[in-house]
Structure formats: C-alpha cells, structure tokens
Amino acid sequence: MHPAFSHRRLMRSATDSKIAGVCGGLAEYLDVDSTVVRLFWAILAVVPGGVVGGVVAYVVAWLVVPKAAAPVSAPIVAKPTPAG
C-alpha cells in the first residue's frame, strides 16, 4: 500500500508576488501564509552572517525556480437584454 502524495512542484507564484514570486511560491508549496515566509526571509536577510545567505538564496531561487503559469479566468459572456 502506497501513501497518496500530491505531485506538487515548487514554482514561483504568478498571483502572490511582491518582487519575483519566490516567497509566494514557497508559501503555496508549504501550504502556509505567504506573510510568514516573507517575514522569515526578511529575518534571514538581516541576521548578521545571514545577509549574504538570504539575499543570495533569493536571487538563486529567482533564477532557478520556474514561474507558475498565470491562472486563466473564465471569459465574460454578455447576457442578452430584451430589445425595447
């Protein structure tokens, strides 16, 4: 018996993006709020010794992680109006 795993991929978010969608995509992948991920990444970037690690990791993720396709919205259909 095999456990049922969803086949999720880490992708940069197309909808929850402030700079490049890295934190939004990571939040979607981990199923947590994107604010928590952004706060963690900001703390990592300002901690002494973590500045290079946080900034470099973000840039590397920006370059390596593919961007998710933008969601396609349903076409807007005009309702017919009675003539008169």
6-10, 48-52, 60-64: least confident range: 48-52
State the average pLDDT for the chain: 76
Angle between helices 51-64 and 34-46 (to 10 degrees): 130
CB 66 within 8 A of CB 12: yes
Q: 83 or 62, which is more confident?
A: 62
Quick one: average pLDDT of 67-76? 70
